[in-house]
A and B are shown apart, each in its own frame.
Chain A
Amino acid sequence: MAEPTPKLRIMKGADQDLSAATYQIFDESHTMGNALRWMLMKNPKVEFCGYSVPHPSENLIQLRIQMYDKLSSLTALLEALDNLDGLCVAIHDKYGESLASGDYERWEERS
């Protein structure tokens, strides 16, 4: 049996210190690609970040990260993932508060 594809791998041509690298993320699409790109661009140590879906029939995205000061793009990626999780929790909590407050219009919809 063939080796199972990894979730994440670094493409050939990355800097040895990972200050510039392209990551292939498998089984992901624009959903995570654009959200991750946005969160990585929020990091002042990130010089450049962009993502692409190389081909619609390949189920993967490519995420390019270039860092200032020879920092590791992998730690920046981990940080962005943490921040994105924090954001999700924040939105979840605020939504829960609004729903619990009951301060909205309730209406009857016939199906």
Chain B
Amino acid sequence: MPTASTSHSTFDPRHHVGVHAERVSNVSSTDFPGYYPDEDHSWDLDQFNQRLKVKVQRLSGRSIEFDLVGTDASIANAFRRILIAEVPTISVERVYVWDNTSVVVDEILAQRIGLVPLNVDPAWMDTKETTNDQATDRNTLVFRLKVACERNKNAPKGSTDPREMYINSDVLSSHLEWEPQGEQATVFASSPPAPTNPNIVLGKLRPGQEIDIEMHAVKGVGKDHAKFCPVATASYRLLPLVILNPEKPVPPHLAEKFQKCFSPGVIRVDPQTKAISLDEQNMRKESMSREVYRHPEFEGCTQLARVRDHFLFSIESEGFYPPERLLPESISVMRGKIANIRRAAEALLADNNNAGDVVMADA
């Protein structure tokens, strides 16, 4: 099956978004029934499956980059939005301060503790339906932070480093102690809840100061508070595309100048003939600076574009989820939302069939 995203010779308004010196063109997708006469663009899962391509490009312990090819921006955007706002994680929601004589005031300390990512799998916990719901061992984790600072009697003489002079001069996320409630001790036995990063500084203490607080962590989503967001960034961009005009080749003496108008690796120049060619593998590196449009000598030689259905996702995980698990999580959240609306629509359908009359809301 010939796909437009692999044939790069000409600008195709159906599949490409034009990038011009000061504007973009052909932004909206047109693959809908009724748009082109005598063409069927209705939904067909088999056809979609043929065109769909998902390819992981790079994976590290903190981030993932993958290509999503052959779907509409509305779908790619749904996954991105869900990643940021609706994939649940566990965070400290309530802080009970018994004692805080540090210079960090209670509210600020509570805010800082809330932002500490925890290593708890949200699948193992329930969501509190309302904020005033009874806290149980299924929906709440309890942490305790009890640190006092004192002088270090064994500090080297003349030292000015607070970390040597005092014990507990820094309050770190590793000071958080999990207190198992009810059945939690067995449920979480394999991976005891703790901050993912033990070295986050929550505050600083000096001799005589101490902090004694209790924290309740619950399950929540990013749209409630950014601390529940499982990702640092989740973004996509469209695959850049440089289209050369065969009618007007770049003059050999300007080949190097032409090459420099693009990101390194995008344009190849033959050392002997000075002929210009494109490196398809490196096309994604193009920064789309539009530098080439600034030079009158290159006018008409090339056109910049983006492939409308080729999404380059880049997701950075922050918190519990390994990066490769984030997209599946967001897909399952999406499917949950679909099932939810479906149930309501079916109930509506059943209502209407029984009553024989459409039930309409007043408002």
Q: Which residues of A contact B (CB under 8 A)?
A: 6-16, 18, 21, 24-25, 28-32, 34-39, 41-44, 74-75, 77-78, 81-92, 94-99, 103-109, 111
A105-B57 CB under 8 A given contacts A44-B34, A77-B345, A83-B45: yes
In the complex, A86→B342 CA distance in Å? Answer: 13
B187 close to chain A: CB less than 8 A: no
B334 close to chain A: CB less than 8 A: yes
Asked if A29 and B72 sit within 8 Å, CB to CB, the answer is: no
Q: State the Cβ distance, B281 to closest chain A Cβ, in Å.
A: 12
A42's partner among B32, B58, B66, B362 (CB-CB below 8 A) is B32
B197 close to chain A: CB less than 8 A: yes
Neighbouring B residues of A78 by C-beta, 8 Å: 342, 345-346, 349
B54's partner among A44, A85, A91 (CB-CB below 8 A) is A91
Asked if B53 and A94 sit within 8 Å, CB to CB, the answer is: yes
B56 close to chain A: CB less than 8 A: yes
B4 close to chain A: CB less than 8 A: no
In the complex, A75→B331 CA distance in Å? Answer: 24
CB nearest to A68 among chain B residues: B34
Q: State the Cβ distance, A27 to closest chain B Cβ, in Å.
A: 8
Asked if A74 and B338 sit within 8 Å, CB to CB, the answer is: no
Neighbouring B residues of A14 by C-beta, 8 Å: 358, 360
Neighbouring A residues of B3 by C-beta, 8 Å: none
A107-B60 CB under 8 A given contacts A12-B361, A88-B331: yes
| Best-buried of B40, B45, B332, B343 by chain A (most CB within 10 Å) | B45
A99-B33 CB under 8 A given contacts A12-B362, A14-B360, A85-B338: no
In the complex, A35→B348 CA distance in Å? Answer: 21
CB nearest to B79 among chain A residues: A91
B324 close to chain A: CB less than 8 A: yes
In the complex, A29→B222 CA distance in Å? Answer: 14
B328's partner among A8, A90, A96 (CB-CB below 8 A) is A96
Asked if B33 and A7 sit within 8 Å, CB to CB, the answer is: no
A37's partner among B74, B342, B359 (CB-CB below 8 A) is B74
Report, nearest first, the 8 A-B pairs whose CB atoms are least far apart.
Answer: A7-B344, A109-B60, A8-B344, A44-B33, A42-B43, A94-B54, A38-B74, A34-B74
A88-B335 CB under 8 A given contacts A44-B34, A109-B60: yes
A95's partner among B58, B66, B340, B360 (CB-CB below 8 A) is B66
